[in-house]
Structure 1
Amino acid sequence: MNHAIAQRKRELEAYLAPTTIDHAELNAFWDAALSRYDGKPLDVRRERTESPFNGVTVDHLTYQGFDDTPIHAWFMVPDVGRGADGARNPLPCVVLFPGYTDDRGYPERHAGWLLQGYAVLAVDVRGQGGETGNHLPLRSGAVKGWVSGNVLEPERSYYHAMTIDAVRAVDAAAAQPEVDGARLAAVGASQGGGLALISAALNPKVTAIVADIPNLCHMDFGVLNSSSSLAELAQHLKRYPERLEAALHTLAHYDMLNLAPRIKVPVLMSVGWKDPVCMPETVYAVYNRIEADKTIKDYPFSGHEVSEAQNRERILFLRERFR
């Protein structure tokens, strides 16, 4: 086929952006960062709350994230999968990460996953739209939003705190007795898609990934072109142009362009070709570097959105992986 859509698809499949940090340096950074949390208590607390669903228990769960910030979440378990003795069999679980400025929402938001018979851990992202605060001290000024916080210091940056929170969300889910640790997916869209990818790259407990229109991808390109969270960094660098190289070096530690080889489990991604936020070049730059079993769904006429068609693809993908 030689029409414009097929040509664009070939261009994206061939798009190979250069990595932006030395591989050994990146691995050393993350090995050291993650080792500091080995064995650190999650301090998981669960409190039963009123459920809007018959046959589903809903708990308000908190766990300790980076810098001991309590991360708030819903942990929801459908009343399915009981054996002949009435005991509950462990269930597959999806860990759900929200988009930028959003939160875990009401439990009703996640009914589709509960109908599949999955346990659900739906988490906030620190400081954004939910109950979760942010203990991270700002050591310098930042523009509106969150992502420019401490952007010159990789291990003190907002990106670092957010990433460790996501990694520990997976640990918190895996630690629940209702969860089958062999069937644990990281799922999200936009910011949530980026967190699904990076949590899987850094936590081997993830067994499948659904990352729709993900951010944290080809972030240097995004700073230059994106209209959303990375535009905050662009605004910061407009004010402080001398900080460009240091800021890009920090971003490189959290860019899935560089972390893609660490993904070892099946992944479903989606991309809207008209997306001005998580542009197709950024998504494909990462997808083309993933070496694990992978699938990408293209939506040439979609912007920054997850369509009903893609919602079905997500369900079918995890149904196959959770058999």
Structure 2
Amino acid sequence: MSDAIKRRIADLEKYMPAPTAEPDIADFWDKTLRSAKDKPLNATRVLTETPLRDMLAYQVEYEGYDRTRIHGWYILPKRRTAGEQLPCTVIFHGYTGSRGYPEDYAQYAMMGMAVFAVDVRGQGGDTGNLLEQRHGMTRGWMTQGILDKDECYYKAITMDAVKALEWAAAQEETDAGRICVQGGSQGGGLALIAAALSDVPSIAVAHIPNMCHMDFGILNSSSSLTEAADFLNRFPERLDDVLRTLSYFDIMNLAGRIRIPLLVSVGLKDPVTMPETIYAAYNRIESDKRIEVYPFLGHAVGGDQNRKALEFMQSRFNF
């Protein structure tokens, strides 16, 4: 490895910007989680057809943060011993995406795992968005409710993710002690924040995660945070309100709550989830952790990241 790359990584490993957390962040999340604990999922699960004969796929719907019905695929290998409980990975997609097709997750079924792949509300999948709003927003979704932590889109999708883990752990085919939460970009951010807030997952995989060091991101990155920048161009007097709201969902401020083994990936040429943002959160995590650095990667999740994630799950779940 060249000296220039080594210096860049060394600088990032020491990067510790001041936290932006408000004094009541712990109380906010404790109250939010308590209020969601007893909310019923009102879930349905229906077997569906796929072109793959060795895989079972179920169309799932459950109620997330509010009355919005979140859609997902629950995937199982067809050949399973009666009563066998499988390790399960819960997967969240990137911004503007969707859960896709059941066959997109065939590799996990071939490994002998269950999968729960979940839509993020309002984006490119089958899931709508019933979140109320009192103020206008700019393009996209992330500025919905951005002036109030209790009305923010990030709160809704975070609690949707927590409830997805709850649903997965309750399935008879799932080993509730072997659940991985994972995703890339937006999905990586949701994996990290769910790892911080939920006691369901036992490991996490976060590729090029978003929702980290968002005060830096809103100023510098080309991510969905440009929507917040557009909002502030329109309402510059609301800067403090926006930054305050985002701070409650910034993984940099929640990193200390992550207690499970963790695999993260970062691209040093990523203009979307910039290395500074990822390291700002990663450097504060005190659990068993590993970061895979790709010096020439932009905003992408490629074959090597996927391979390392599969190996990480196999080694941690002993199967």
Pairwise TM-score range, normalised by the shorter structure: over 0.9
TM-score by length of 2: 0.98
Q: 2:130 aligns with which of 127, 135, 138?
A: 135
Query: Shift of the alpha carbon at 1:52?
Result: 2.2
Please give the alpha-carbon distance, in whole angstroms, between the structure 2 residues aligned to 1:113 and 1:225.
36
Q: 2:181 aligns with which of 180, 186, 195?
A: 186
Gap change, CA 1:94 and 1:2, over 3 Å in 2 = closer
Consecutive unaligned residues of structure 1, counting only runs of 5 or more, are: none
Please give the alpha-carbon distance, in whole angstroms, between the structure 1 residues aligned to 2:184 and 2:109.
18
Query: Shift of the alpha carbon at 1:232?
Result: 0.3
Please give the alpha-carbon distance, in whole angstroms, between the structure 2 residues aligned to 1:169 and 1:160.
14
Query: Shift of the alpha carbon at 1:55?
Result: 2.2
Query: Shift of the alpha carbon at 1:79?
Result: 2.5
> Residue 143 of structure 2 corresponds to which residue in structure 1?
148
> Residue 70 of structure 1 corresponds to which residue in structure 2?
69
- Counterparts of 1:302-321 in structure 2, within 5 Å, are 302-321=297-316
Matched, 1:258 2:253: yes
> Residue 11 of structure 1 corresponds to which residue in structure 2?
11
Q: 1:196 aligns with which of 177, 191, 197?
A: 191
Please give the alpha-carbon distance, in whole angstroms, between the structure 2 residues aligned to 1:2 and 1:228.
29
Identity fraction in percent: 51
Q: 1:215 aligns with which of 206, 210, 213?
A: 210
Counterpart code for 1:287:
Y
Please give the alpha-carbon distance, in whole angstroms, between the structure 2 residues aligned to 1:2 and 1:256.
31
- Counterparts of 1:33-44 in structure 2, within 5 Å, are 33-44=32-43
Query: Shift of the alpha carbon at 1:138?
Result: 2.0
User: Residues 138-166 of structure 1, C-alpha deviation per residue, up to 9 Å, x if partnerless?
Assistant: 21110010000110010111111111101
> Residue 164 of structure 2 corresponds to which residue in structure 1?
169
Counterpart code for 1:17:
P
Counterpart code for 2:192:
L
Q: Secondary structure at the match of 1:67?
A: coil
1:99–1:188: 8 Å Cα contact kept in structure 2? yes
Query: Shift of the alpha carbon at 1:293?
Result: 0.3
**Equivalenced residues, count:** 318
Q: Secondary structure at the match of 1:217?
A: coil
Please give the alpha-carbon distance, in whole angstroms, between the structure 1 residues aligned to 2:299 and 2:97.
15
Q: Secondary structure at the match of 2:181?
A: strand
User: Residues 192-218 of structure 1, C-alpha deviation per residue, up to 9 Å, x if partnerless?
Assistant: 000001111111011100000000100
Counterpart code for 2:18:
P
User: Residues 23-64 of structure 1, C-alpha deviation per residue, up to 9 Å, x if partnerless?
Assistant: x51110000011101121111100111022222111100110
2:55–2:106: 8 Å Cα contact kept in structure 1? no
Counterpart code for 1:62:
E
Q: Secondary structure at the match of 1:37?
A: helix
1:171–1:205: 8 Å Cα contact kept in structure 2? yes
User: Residues 59-90 of structure 1, C-alpha deviation per residue, up to 9 Å, x if partnerless?
Assistant: 100110011110000011112441xxxx1301
User: Residues 7-26 of structure 1, C-alpha deviation per residue, up to 9 Å, x if partnerless?
Assistant: 1010010000111014x511
> Residue 57 of structure 1 corresponds to which residue in structure 2?
56
Please give the alpha-carbon distance, in whole angstroms, between the structure 2 residues aligned to 1:30 and 1:194.
16
Matched, 1:273 2:268: yes
Q: Secondary structure at the match of 1:122?
A: strand
**Which stretches of structure 1, 4 residues or longer, exceed 6 Å deviation after superposition?**
none
Counterpart code for 2:151:
R
Counterpart code for 1:65:
G
> Residue 301 of structure 1 corresponds to which residue in structure 2?
296
